Amino acid sequence: MQLKELFPTAFGDATRTGGIAHHNSVEAACQDDSLYISRLKSVQGSFNIQKPSPDRETNAQIPRPGSFYKHFRTVGELSLNAKVFYEAAANLAGIGLPTIVSAVFLTETKLQAWSIGEQRSAKQEELASGEPE
């Protein structure tokens, strides 16, 4: 089964058979890739992408996705669910639990520093050009 069959973009009667959703018009569309691609482009083309903007009048901090994300520096800080996840990842990677916790923490720290740097650069460019977004 191909990925495009799991996420149909056509409309039609959906019936569940064996745990897989089948759509009458999707099966026909999936057989012809050009029809599928044109339908996908028309659906994606209708998306209206907007940047999130904080309320400038009240200067309120609006919670964003990931803003409550907990960073784990050591194995002792892991919650039960996080520990199970990290153990599975460590086993798949063939490394110890403390090593993967440390590696993830360092990677997250570097990504956060990079993101802050990008935001500062964008603000400096905005100030230099004199055009607020």
**Which of 28-36's residues contact partners 24+ apart within 8 Å by CB, and which partners?**
30/2, 30/4, 30/5, 36/4, 36/9
Residue 98 in tokens: 């403390």
Q: To the nearest whole percent, how much of the chain has pLDDT over 90?
A: 35
* pLDDT (tens digit per residue) in 82-109: 999 999 999 999 999 999 999 999 999 9
Question: Using CA atoms, how far apart are residues 101 and 56, in angstroms rounded to an integer?
Answer: 38
C-beta of residue 97 within 8 angstroms of C-beta of residue 90: yes
* Amino acid identity at 46: S
Burial of 40 (0-12, 13-18, 19+ CB in 10 A): middle
Task: Output 127 or 100, whichever has higher pLDDT.
Answer: 100
Which stretch of 42-46, 47-51, 100-104, 120-124 has the lowest confidence by average pLDDT? Answer: 47-51
